[in-house]
Amino acid sequence: MVAVTTFIIACSKGGGGGTKDPDPTPSGFDKAAMLTNYADALIIPAYTNLQTQAALLETAVNTFLTTPNAANQTALKAAFKDTYLRFEDVSADQFGPAEAALFNNFVNTFPTDSAVIEGNVIRGTYDLTSNASISQQGLPALDYLLFNPHAVADFTGGTAVNRKKYVQDVVANLKAKINTVLTNWKGTYRATFIGNTRSDSGSPIAFLINQFAFEMDQLKGPRVGWPFGKQSAGVTYPNNTEGFNAGISIALATENLTALKGMFNGGGSGKGMSDYLVALNKQQLSTDVMAQFDKAIAALKTIPDPYPTAITNNKTQIEAAYREIQILLTLIKTDVASATGVRITYQDTDGD
Amino acid sequence: MSFRSTVKNLQRPVAIAPLVTFRILFGLMMLAGTIRFWANGWITQQYVAPKFFFTYMGFEWVHPLGSTGMHLVFGLIALATVLIIAGLFYRAAIIVFFIAFTYVELIDVTNYLNHYYFISLVSFLMIWLPANRYFSLDVKLWPKLQRTQVPLWTIGIIRLQVAVVYFFAGLAKINPDWMMHALPMKIWLPAKSHLPLVGGLMYKEWVAYLFSWFGAFYDLFIAFFLINRKTRPIAYVFVLGFHISTAIFFPGIGMFPYVMIVCSFIFFSSGYHQKLLAFFGKDRASGGYNIYHYATWLQPALPVVLGVYFLLQFIVPIRFLAYPGHLFWYEEGYRFSWRVMLMEKSGNTFFTVKEPSTGKAYEIDNRQYLTPLQDKMMSTQPDMLLRYAHYLAQVYAKKGLKNPAVYAQCYVTLNGERSQPFVDETVNLAAQPLSWHHYNWVLPFTNHEK
């Protein structure tokens, strides 16, 4: 192999100077360009949009807190939904700065713990920075606090002062988390991300593939399957859906998957994972995965919100969407991961 | 050479030095490996964190010992390696090392690696070798123990063991995917395009073929070139080059390249090792000729025991011939056969537990019971799928289900083939026995593109 290596190095030095290889097999693929596209065209803009939307949410929240009535609540719900949708666009980016900040944990741990939240409100003391508090804050906590059936009354009742303060603290923490992640991305992490074109565990390419698989698992489980009773012999858990009180679960799930599709094909720029697959001679796989994304998204769209009602009334559509999600999950977890040579842990392997 | 004279030749006394350098290098490497394992947090990750462990057939009684216990075991292994290096209480140390190391490896099939198996075998052989009889603290403390010569076969069995590994690793590569399609190299190399200088070449098919063919021929023939005195130095240069390259290209294989580099060193002649030791140590062989003899009662048993041992070394890697179907797909007779980096295989499995009397169905989230690595390994290896299915049946029986039935939807991709169903979805895996027989519930492999 030493001979081989020397030979290869010799060749690459000798034949290098600009002569194009006539070999029709896949020539190089610019992984750095792909990662740059991910950072600059997808991830950073997605966090920026979320940041912008979170500021609008804050305004709407304050309007509602000042005058808690049904009309303001409706306006707030629209801003809340938009913020949640923008979160779904970054949900797959749980690595690097987001992972360090436990972003998804703090922003989207659902179902939220309404009992503890009520306790916090009544006591007026809590620590939203501790890791133990992830189910007392973020978008699911706001969903409960702002849109539960008795929300408007709550903000005029005996706990109103503490409750308003709690909501503002949750919003402030949400904005701070977004800010932390975005600042890190714009700071040092962007270069780290673009500069690492490896495929081993802990590399950006492995992060992306693993996150695609992880998000699909989340979609199949907590977002769609578990509330539907897939894990529990048909015993349903409608309250455990994402965005339960606002009644936007399927809209969120659809956005999540649509964003994931955008991540998979690099926003259609020709510099996405789907294009990397093509460069690896996996044209058919790339096409099939994209088609399966469309099938799963279409199937999700046939389920009407609110999901808790659909769980009783639209079983056939949910089953169908579940099947498509499962097929997509398998394609990503096995075929795509395998084709890109991505490893899932740091441990030694025999390479099988 | 007749059989008799061969046996006689194997008894010929030679300098003990190769055994001594081997003892020291092996100990150093194992110490480094243990420290690395500990520092990476793998003790906790592999032996403390998991809720469920995939045991080996016949070794179901092997269990991990909890966080403190497992760290103590690794501490014990590290201590044993230090004693082995120093040659202090050698026999006890190598026995402890062999038992503790093998115990750890037997806890979970997930962590099976060929080189771990190799380390277990070598440390077992070392129990019977007088590797502490020279250049050791044992000799310092008890000078009477010192021996300068050992029968040739004591060094020969290590060489044979190394040769077995290489040869069978080479034989395993003689298959259509590896030789005719350069798989899985064709899949793995493009993932290495970040490497300096050679990165751009990683997309070229001919490079994948070059790697495949070179690897196969290297494995098949390197031991013969190492045995031959004339070709030995250049062969060892190849050993270094080959394994250092694999370490660079495939860092995921961890210690393996270094294990082979160190172990292949034993092929050098006794004289060479003698000079090496003399360079490091002041104490020369004071007592002149001093040959190590095995106890008389052990003499007749040795050839039988060694014969059986090496017979097994030849039978175990070819036991797959007793099974029908594609070896890489079924993996029946795959382990313990020096099949390293032979295939790209991944899978994904959804389990459903059903109560037959009520029709109630529970889908399983594997993450609830398995680590990501366990999940990945389980999804492509039939015996692990079955063990996990049995475990799920137990878990749900405890939850109150009557005769829980377990079904799996499993898809596996092998060497770039599109993923296809791996397990018969209609078969209740809870009712399927673990056995050495062919598993009929694994669906056959169909080869499409290529």
Smallest CA–CA distance, residue B248 to chain A, in Å, is 11
Q: What is the pLDDT of residue B281?
A: 73
Q: What is the pLDDT of residue A7?
A: 41
Q: What is the pLDDT of residue A200?
A: 81
Q: What is the mean pLDDT of residues B147-156?
A: 94
* Lowest-pLDDT choice from A23-32, A258-267, A270-279, B338-347: A23-32
Q: What is the largest CA-CA distance in chain A?
A: 81
- Chain A residues with CB-CB distance to B200 below 8 A: 12, 28
Provide φ and ψ at B347, rounded to 5°.
-145, 175
Token pair 């000729």 is found at: B289
User: Does the beta carbon of B238 lie under 8 angstroms from any beta carbon of chain A?
Assistant: yes
Measured between alpha carbons, how far apart are the two ends of chain B, in Å? 49
pLDDT tens digits for A188-233?
999 999 999 988 878 999 999 999 999 999 999 999 999 999 999 9
Rounded CA gap, B261 and B48, in Å?
Answer: 31
From chain B residues 188-227, the ones with a CB under 8 A of any chain A CB are 188, 190-194, 197-198, 200-201, 203-207, 210-211, 214-215, 218
Rounded CA gap, B291 and B150, in Å?
Answer: 6
Helix H or strand E encompassing B439: none
Q: What is the mean pLDDT of residues A241-261?
A: 98
User: Does the beta carbon of B39 lie under 8 angstroms from any beta carbon of chain A?
Assistant: no
DSSP, collapsed to helix, strand or coil, labels residue B121 as: helix
Kindly give the interhelix angle for A204-218 and A249-264, rounded to the nearest 10 degrees.
150
Q: What is the pLDDT of residue A341?
A: 86
Q: Please name the residues in contact with B347: beta carbons below 8 A apart, sequence gap of 6 or more.
A: A334, B376, B379, B380, B410, B411, B412, B413, B419, B422
Dihedral over alpha carbons A259, A265, A267, A269 (to 10 degrees): 180
Whether A2 has a pLDDT exceeding 60, the answer reads no
Rounded CA gap, A31 and A275, in Å?
Answer: 10
Residue type, position B65, single letter: L
Residue B222: C-alpha distances to residues A7, A351, B113, B228, B239 (Å)? 20, 22, 22, 10, 8
Smallest CA–CA distance, residue A303 to chain B, in Å, is 21
Complete edge-to-edge strand list for the sheet that includes strand B345-355:
B360-363, B345-355, B405-414, B420-421
Q: Least CB-CB distance to A330: which of B205, B243, B411?
A: B411
Name the token pair of B159. Answer: 């060489």
Q: What is the pLDDT of residue A9?
A: 39
User: Does the beta carbon of A202 lie under 8 angstroms from any beta carbon of chain B?
Assistant: no
Q: Least CB-CB distance to A348: which of B254, B376, B412?
A: B254
pLDDT > 70: what percent of chain B? 97
Strands B345-355 and B405-414: antiparallel
Whether A1 has a pLDDT exceeding 50, the answer reads no
Residue B184: C-alpha distances to residues B173, B191, B198, B239 (Å)? 11, 12, 18, 22
Smallest CA–CA distance, residue B217 to chain A, in Å, is 11
Q: What is the mean pLDDT of residues B165-173?
A: 97
Q: Please name the residues in contact with B42: beta carbons below 8 A apart, sequence gap of 6 or more.
A: A347
Whether A19 has a pLDDT exceeding 70, the answer reads no
A-B interface: how many C-beta pairs under 8 angstroms? 172
Judge whether B405 and B354 are in contact, CB under 8 Å: yes
Tell me the average pLDDT of chain B.
93
- Chain B residues with CB-CB distance to A347 below 8 A: 42, 45-46, 111, 254, 373
Judge whether A140 and A249 are in contact, CB under 8 Å: no
Rounded CA gap, B229 and A141, in Å?
Answer: 75
Per-residue confidence band for B215, with pLDDT thresholds at 50, 70 and 90: very high
pLDDT tens digits for B286-295?
556 688 989 8
Per-residue confidence band for B447, with pLDDT thresholds at 50, 70 and 90: confident
Strand ranges, E, within chain A: none
Q: What is the pLDDT of residue A11?
A: 37
Rounded CA gap, B161 and B316, in Å?
Answer: 13
Q: What is the mean pLDDT of residues A119-128?
A: 96
Contact B190 A230 (CB under 8 A): no
User: Does the beta carbon of B323 lie under 8 angstroms from any beta carbon of chain A?
Assistant: no
- Judged by phi (left if over 0) then psi (alpha if -120 to 50, else beta), residue B328 lies in alpha
User: Does the beta carbon of A224 lie under 8 angstroms from any beta carbon of chain B?
Assistant: no
Judge whether A172 and A107 are in contact, CB under 8 Å: no
DSSP, collapsed to helix, strand or coil, labels residue B101 as: helix
pLDDT > 70: what percent of chain A? 89
Whether A22 has a pLDDT exceeding 70, the answer reads no
Rounded CA gap, A263 and A38, in Å?
Answer: 8
Dihedral over alpha carbons A292, A293, A296, A300 (to 10 degrees): -170
Exposed, middle or buried: residue A67 (CB in 10 Å: 0-12, 13-18, 19+)?
A: exposed
ipTM for the predicted complex: 0.89
Name the token pair of B8. Answer: 């006689």
Token pair 């050495």 is found at: B436
Contact B340 A351 (CB under 8 A): yes
DSSP structural state of residue B45: I
Q: Least CB-CB distance to A233: which of B242, B362, B411?
A: B362
Q: Which of B186 and B449 is assigned the larger pLDDT?
A: B186
Contact B341 A351 (CB under 8 A): yes
Judge whether B155 and B106 are in contact, CB under 8 Å: no
Is the dihedral angle over the CA atoms B53, B57, B61, B64 positive or is it negative?
negative
Kindly give the interhelix angle for A2-14 and B205-227, rounded to the nearest 10 degrees.
150
Smallest CA–CA distance, residue A20 to chain B, in Å, is 12
Whether A49 has a pLDDT exceeding 90, the answer reads yes
DSSP string, A174-242: HHHHHHHHHHHIIIIIHHHHHH----STTSHHHHHHHHHHHHHHHIIIIIIITTTTTTTTT---GGGST
User: Does the beta carbon of B378 lie under 8 angstroms from any beta carbon of chain A?
Assistant: no
Rounded CA gap, B42 and B221, in Å?
Answer: 35
pTM of the model: 0.91
pLDDT tens digits for B369-420?
999 899 999 999 999 999 999 999 999 999 999 999 999 999 999 999 999 9
User: Does the beta carbon of A4 lie under 8 angstroms from any beta carbon of chain B?
Assistant: yes
Judge whether A243 and A111 are in contact, CB under 8 Å: no
Whether A277 has a pLDDT exceeding 60, the answer reads yes
Whether A120 has a pLDDT exceeding 90, the answer reads yes
Q: What is the mean pLDDT of residues A234-252?
A: 96
User: Does the beta carbon of A1 lie under 8 angstroms from any beta carbon of chain B?
Assistant: yes
Exposed, middle or buried: residue A102 (CB in 10 Å: 0-12, 13-18, 19+)?
A: middle
Q: What is the pLDDT of residue B448?
A: 67
From chain A residues 266-305, the ones with a CB under 8 A of any chain B CB are 279-280, 282, 284-285
